[in-house]
Amino acid sequence: MKPLKPIQPQRPRVPRRAVHGVLLLDKPVGLSSNDALQKAKRLFRAEKAGHTGTLDPMASGLLPLCFGAATKFSQVSLDADKCYVAQLRLGQRRVGGDMEGEVIEERPVQVTQEGIEQACERFKGLQSQVPPMHSALKKDGKPLYEYARQGIEVERAPRQVTIHDIVITGWQDEAHLLTLTVRCSKGTYIRTLAEDIGEALGCGAHLAGLRRVGSGPLDIAHAVTLETLAEWTEEQRDARLMPPDALVADWPAIRLAAEEAGRFLSGLRRRVVQPDAPAVRVYGPEPAAFLGGAHITAGELIADRLLSPTEVQALLTL
């Protein structure tokens, strides 16, 4: 008869609560976006949470987290332009295009400031990028990086991205390290850009470091680390949350009277004297009464994403 295994005491279940808002997290290197989300979710004891787009484990920086009502607008941040500070190691190509892969080629680095500027200039504007194998893009339901780990290369269709600007912010000649600030559209692979710039310079390159510093109107300057969150009280954490409408702060605002707000919140179209607009944020008469997102067509305000009455009330009592 096998000896009985000792019964492990169960951890007490932490009670969850309704939390509504946006947290700007400064994600550390080495942690996946989902791992960072789950750690923050536990600290807040939040019932519902999600992030607004994957940031690679090797990358650090801005990861907007949405709680409660804010999750309804996470797609807005996902679709927003991004800003990165990227460090390129010239003269060395690696598997996967970043510093975690094995070196596959080394070439001498003979570049000038003018040559670097010209190479970067070539990649501004609309670009066609082939997603790297070491990415979370899925094929047949499986992320590409899983195929890459098995040594399998699959065909990837090129995608159109826009690189709005590339600014050279540092060059370490002896270490062959080039630092760039890149503003780009969603879906841009910075490791692919690093490799392409390396090829344009004739020496090859890989991504040695990456930090996201901006997402739409959101900035890393207002982000907080997991370590700091863990040290704070629950009240301090809650105070750090931005309201759900922070994700749509650059949309035009419309304010409705109390009766009209109630009808709008029930999903009814409202007549407004406003020009057509693809996206607007809608409020009730109270300053904090964010009702949701809508669009305007032919003088009609048409709801797209609505908060529930319970969520609106929760925001009013914050």
| Catalytic (active-site) positions | 56
- CA distance between the termini of the chain: 60
161, amino acid identity: V
The Cα 189–Cα 58 span in angstroms is 13
Closest CA to 163 of 140, 181, 151: 181
Residue with token string 């001498």:
108
User: In the chain, which residue ranges form alpha helices assigned H by DSSP?
Assistant: 33-44, 74-79, 113-121, 144-149, 190-200, 226-231, 234-240, 258-265, 309-316
Residue 240 near residue 231 (C-beta atoms within 8 A): no
Written as six digits, the tokens of 268 are 């009814």
Integer Cα distance of 167 and 173 in angstroms: 17
Q: Among all chains, which residue has been given the structure tokens 């863990």?
A: 230
How far is the C-alpha of 46 from the C-alpha of 39, rounded, in Å? 11
φ/ψ of 212, rounded to 5, equals -85, 130
